[in-house]
Amino acid sequence: MPEATHSPRPVPVLFASEPIVLPGMVVPIELDDAARAAVEAAQATAAAGETATLLIAPRLDDRYPTYGVLASILQVGRVPGGGAAAVVRGEKRAHIGSGATGPGAALWVSVTEVADSEITDETTALATEYKKLLLAMLQRREAWQIVDVVNKISDPSALADTAGYASYLSDVQKRELLETEDVGRRLRLLINWTGEHLAEVEVTDKIAEDVRAGMDKQQKEFLLRQQLAAIRKELGETDGSDGSDDYRARIDAADLPDDVRDAALREVGKLERSSEQSPEGGWIRTWLDTVLDLPWNQRTVDSADLAGARQILDADHHGLDDVKDRIVEYLAVRARRAQRGMAVVGGRGSGAVMVLAGPPGVGKTSLGESVARALGRKFVRVALGGVRDEAEIRGHRRTYVGALPGRIVRAIGEAGSMNPVVLLDEIDKVGSDYRGDPAAALLEVLDPAQNHTFRDHYLDLDLDLSDVVFLAAANVVENIPTALLDRMELVEIDGYTADDKLAIAQDFLLPRQRDRAALGADEVTVTEAALRKIAADYTREPGVRQFERLLAKMMRKVATKLAAEAGPVVVDEPDLVSYLGRPRFTPESAERTAVPGVATGLAVTGLGGDVLYIEAGGTDGEGSLQLTGQLGDVMKESAQIALSYVRAHADQLGVDAALLDRRIHVHVPAGAVPKDGPSAGVTMVTALVSMATGRQVRSDVGMTGEVTLNGRVLPIGGLKQKLLAAQRAGLSTVFIPARNEADLDDVPAEVLAALDVRPMTDVADIVAQALEPAQSAVQAA
């Protein structure tokens, strides 16, 4: 701390609440009686020709001041209000000692002047930094005259004491500066305080600028809107209102449920209270338009003509009796409830929820339109393939930009009725990711016990879906979540027989493609033999989609031919090569099973039933099993079980056990296609026995069934599709599990007539009947 260079001396003291005077400051001070006595005492004791000096100390409530400023009295007079005042200039910082005596009524104290501390390089650097901050703040205020004064100050102590004029410093901070003798410490305090204040000023100025810009923009928009409203009024286009009266009129005129009406009126009230510039007004208008566009109390009347409904279904689609029967039953129940005065509109379980599961091309999607026509209802299709966002079903919250109701609500709006037929297409292709699980959102939609109070996130109103007929279409039932499948009535469509395809082609496909090619029935004729040939050798599909494409190709070529030469065209079986090219499919079972170790199995894929060839071979080496063909875990386990069974029952099967201790390789061709499931177990056993005995598997035999370690044949799924595939592949004998015998009731009669279906319980019996006799077998090398 600096040491005093002057001895103590008595001076009169003037206590001032404000301002806090620092050395170098020139300030006016109002004089009360005590202050006037101090001034008069200073003037009376001043030597001739010298300026009167007194001590100005801050008036403190909690303690006696320890520091003050020795100030010279420049002028004494009166202020415009009439009160007495003195203009003083602070000279030196002084430490207050004990009391002293002096003339007059003033209070005298003993003071010691505080000498300035030594100026070091650090002090100079601190003064430079403080001056930068001080100038930056003064430049922001555009106080250019004060900037010039500050620039001329070179003494660090004098620069620090200019803070007495700073309005942003409190009296407490100024008193701390007065009581701090060291210049360096005073400068550090000022750098911190000024830096904080400058940062606060910059933030405040930025906020003020943003507010000013926003106000300017709002004022500009307001002016433009007023001008636009005046222009429209002159043109007679609008009355200048915000549209709330129009919405109230629309709500009053609309046939809305009570809870919906109340919610809509509340939103209109918000619209009236919001400003025109508020974005909330646009959100409310969009919501009101959506609500008013929904058919809350509009319903179509179901057809009561059961026979007419069945005729419509039969006219649009061949076969599919299960679906047609279910729709007619639905109409019959509603008709009886109406006759007996029971509620048939709304309520739990009054609708229907069915899932049509089957391979592509069998008419699942088009069946929805036929069902709607048969019921006399509106039809709307909702494509769910690839949907991964839960908001697509339940809608977005209204707070999001671009928020929309979900697809279910939009479907009801498109239909214009609360009881349409809604087809949920490709429901097995719904996925899930970070945006939620749409399949989970569908649980409430498709639950007849819950969907009478379905709540969309956007509408936030209860929507009654209980009277909607939901038809879902899927290719693979296993891909539908179990909880969702449990809420729907499953109707399986397994595919068409050859006779079905012929009837569909003659009644539906051929007339449609003739019309599209602008051909008349008298201009082109396709024989029955040609249609059967297309179904058998040009397509191997459970449906008729590819069949129709080939007919379209044929009609285009016929139209081209008629353009060159006149006369009707007859397309017979021998003519197909010239119209469609060579057949894509030919019977290959005999070729594939011409060597031992190959057996024909039956499988079900997403495209329907198909034949599956399983090959087994053995090479010298340590006993092991190698599996190829992109097999799933269950199918790999079936191969292990089959090999274990054959090894354990080698004597019963007539197999040399030594041939099974080699390196066994089981392959399932079409290696690029993943395969899984247990139903190939009996086929693997047959292929292994055929490989080990050298006896070929009969080329006309197909088989399916799961096998156990003791040779039992367990039931499988998809029997109808597998038998249809066997018929298409030209097989004549099919071995199935005995426990699947009851499922033969679902198989068309013409398929059963074309196949020798043999229910089996023991795989050894299948092997015995499937292999060629030993005397005609080709011996293994």
- For the segment 617-640, the average pLDDT, to the nearest whole number, is 88
Q: Is 571 annotated as a binding residue?
A: no
**pLDDT for 286-326, tens place per residue?**
888 888 888 888 888 888 788 888 888 888 888 778 888 88
Kindly name the residue from 679, 690, 699, 720 that is annotated as catalytic: 679
Which pair of structure tokens corresponds to residue 581? 């090219």
Q: Does the pLDDT value for residue 15 go beyond 80?
A: yes
Strand partners, 187: none
- For the segment 547-571, the average pLDDT, to the nearest whole number, is 88
Q: What's the rounded Cα separation, in Å, for the pair 111 and 91?
A: 14
- Write the class of the CATH domain 589-776: alpha beta
Residue type, 47: A
Highest mean pLDDT among 17-26, 254-263, 339-348, 695-704: 695-704
Cβ atoms within 10 Å of 463's Cβ, excluding its own: 22
pLDDT band at 685 (very low <50, low <70, confident <90, very high): very high
Of 112, 155, 113, 103, nearest in space to 130 by CA: 155
pLDDT band at 244 (very low <50, low <70, confident <90, very high): low
Strand partners, 463: 454
Q: Is 453 annotated as a binding residue?
A: no
**pLDDT for 590-616, tens place per residue?**
777 788 889 999 988 767 778 889 999
Q: Does the pLDDT value for residue 769 go beyond 70?
A: yes
Which pLDDT score is estimated for 3? Answer: 44
Which pLDDT score is estimated for 682? Answer: 92
Q: Does the pLDDT value for residue 349 go beyond 80?
A: no
Q: Please state which of the four CATH numbers 3.30.70.330, 2.70.150.10, 3.40.50.300, 2.30.130.40 is assigned to the domain occupying 9-113.
A: 2.30.130.40
Q: Does the pLDDT value for residue 669 go beyond 80?
A: yes
**pLDDT for 496-533, tens place per residue?**
877 888 888 888 889 999 999 898 888 899 999 899 88
Q: Is 118 exposed, middle or buried (0-12, 13-18, 19+ CB in 10 A)?
A: exposed
Q: Is 204 annotated as a binding residue?
A: no
Q: Which alpha helices (DSSP H) does 153-182 contain, by range?
A: 156-161, 171-178
Q: What's the rounded Cα separation, in Å, for the pair 420 and 468?
A: 6
Which pLDDT score is estimated for 238? Answer: 52
Residue with the larger pLDDT of the pair 776 and 660: 660
Fold of the domain built from segment(s) 498-580: Helicase, Ruva Protein; domain 3 (1.10.8)
Which pLDDT score is estimated for 776? Answer: 46
Q: What is the 3-state secondary structure (H, E, C) of 325-348?
A: HHHHHHHHHHHHHHHCCCCCCCCC
Which pair of structure tokens corresponds to residue 269? 């009230």
- Specify the residue for token string 């309520």: 347
Q: Is 362 annotated as a binding residue?
A: yes
Measured CA angle at 648 (ends 647, 653), to 5 deg: 75
Fold of the domain built from segment(s) 306-492: Rossmann fold (3.40.50)
Which pLDDT score is estimated for 222? Answer: 73
**% residues pLDDT > 70 (the chain):** 94
**pLDDT for 141-150, tens place per residue?**
777 778 888 8
> Do the strands 67-78 and 352-357 form a parallel or antiparallel pair, or are they unpaired?
unpaired
For the question of residue 366 being annotated catalytic, the response is no
Mean per-residue pLDDT of the chain:
83
Q: Does the pLDDT value for residue 52 go beyond 80?
A: yes
Q: What's the rounded Cα separation, in Å, for the pair 263 and 644?
A: 70
Q: Which alpha helices (DSSP H) does 457-613 contain, by range?
A: 482-485, 498-504, 510-516, 528-533, 545-564, 576-580, 589-592
Residue type, 648: A
- For the segment 615-637, the average pLDDT, to the nearest whole number, is 87
- Number of C-alpha atoms within 13 angstroms, CB side, residue 308? 9
Q: Is 92 annotated as a binding residue?
A: no
Q: Is 358 annotated as a binding residue?
A: yes
Range in 222-226, 324-328, 477-481 the model is least confident about: 222-226
Which pLDDT score is estimated for 276? Answer: 65
Q: Does the pLDDT value for residue 365 go beyond 50?
A: yes
- Specify the residue for token string 């191997």: 540
Strands of 271-401 (E only): list them.
352-357, 379-383
Q: Is 96 helix (H, G, I), strand (E, B) or coil?
A: strand
Which pair of structure tokens corresponds to residue 183? 């210049």
Range in 4-8, 108-112, 299-303, 669-673 the model is least confident about: 4-8
Cβ atoms within 10 Å of 506's Cβ, excluding its own: 14
Q: Is 363 annotated as a binding residue?
A: yes
| DSSP annotation of 303 | P
Q: Is 147 annotated as a binding residue?
A: no
For the question of residue 274 being annotated catalytic, the response is no
Residue type, 342: M
Q: What's the rounded Cα separation, in Å, for the pair 420 and 368?
A: 11
Kindly name the residue from 131, 174, 378, 722 that is annotated as catalytic: 722
* pTM greater than 0.75 (yes/no): no
